[in-house]
Amino acid sequence: MTENVVSTVDLKKYFTSRKGVVKAVDGVNLSVAAGQVFGFLGPNGAGKTTTLRMLNTLLVPDSGQALVAGFDVLKDPGAVRCRIGYVGQSGGSDRPATGREDLVLQGRLYGMSKAEASSRAAELIDLLDLTDFADRIVYTYSGGQRRRLDVALGIMHRPQVLFLDEPTTGLDPQNRANLWKQIGKLKATGTTIFLTTHYLEEADILSDYLAIMDYGHIVAEGTPQQLKRQVSLDTIRVTLGDPAQNPAAAQVLEGLKVVKSSVLEQDCLRISVDNGEAALPQVMKALDGKDIAISNISLSTASLDDVFLEKTGRSLRDTEAEGGDR
């Protein structure tokens, strides 16, 4: 049995605004197993950030319970703070300091000695590829460089769990991919990562386990694969070199266990399968075995947007323009 690093029971936070009560987080139950990347997906304003701020002790819940790294956020916030790392949406690096100075300061605030903090800073500068600019003032950093420093600050004290609030928002695709790589490295060191995002691809690529939040509620959770399979099957499209072989090909494919159904659409065979990635090589091998030449083959997998659409009745892509963060 894996131990849970984060678990909440019926966590609630309401805000009172001029328009009335906003149920930002309305009864959230979460379990995050040690060592996994936990993705927290939802549109802006869904309550992701509010949930995260209750878990990292910045915000006091109205009701419910939250255990983080073995301690109650309400009863023992100090113990929680020592064991978690946090990288907020706006980062947190000190602009007039150098990256290295800021890292050492961060370590010292967690009680490290000067020597300990310096060697840990050097380690992280290496791990997160900060070497080229670590001794420059943060004002001079690009957005991507600053983001990497922010992440380094968050893990300076080797936290059990690292909270990342929309870490790639505002980054260009290249920097986003780079940060994904760094997050992968962190995971390899055994750090549990709790990540909020409103990007579908990001949630899909990074998370081992995923919870989808909307209007203060968790609407779905599971591994990205499980979630996608709940709503639809993967599709493989095959176009043959010789269309005359289509009936023969269909017959071969019907014989495969992984194939749920196959339909001929114009000159293209559309095959529904449970797990596209596993089925693809089998399909190719079976056709090859009968000397049926493939001119084109493609796989489209069910997307998380399909999941979101099914669970909330609207598309996540449509909601991105709505509301602000809270």
Identify which of residues 15 and 241 has a Cβ nearer to other proteins in the complex. 15
Q: How is residue 2 written in tokens? A: 């894996």
- State the Cα–Cα distance between residues 188 and 107, nearest whole angstrom: 21
Q: β-strands 268-273, 259-265: how paired?
A: antiparallel
| Number of residues near other proteins (by CB under 8 A) | 30
The arrangement of strands across the sheet holding 161-165 comes to 84-87, 161-165, 192-197, 37-41, 209-214, 217-222
Q: Is 59 in the site for other proteins (CB under 8 A)?
A: yes
Residue 199 three-state SS: coil
Residue span 138-177 as binding mask against other proteins, x where in contact by CB under 8 A, dash where not = ------------x--x------------------------
* Minimum CB distance to other proteins, residue 109 (Å): 5
Question: CB of residue 256 vs other proteins: minimum separation in angstroms?
Answer: 53
Binding mask 110-139 for other proteins (x = CB under 8 A): xx-------------------------x--
Nearer to other proteins, 41 or 80 (CB): 80
User: CA 267, CA 60: separation in Å to the nearest integer?
Assistant: 60
CA-nearest of 283, 312, 310, 279 to 296 is: 283
CB of 307 to other proteins, least distance (A): 31
- Draw the binding track, 74-113, toward other proteins (x: CB under 8 A; -: no contact): ----x--xx-x-x-xxxxxxxxxx---x---xx-xxxx--
Reference 193, options 3, 11, 35, 1; nearest CA is: 35
Nearer to other proteins, 12 or 229 (CB): 12
Residue for token digits 């691809």? 201
Distance separating alpha carbons of residues 252 and 236, to the nearest angstrom = 15
Least distance to other proteins, CB of residue 70, Å: 16
Q: Which residues bind other proteins (CB under 8 A)?
A: 53, 56-59, 78, 81-82, 84, 86, 88-97, 101, 105-106, 108-111, 137, 150, 153
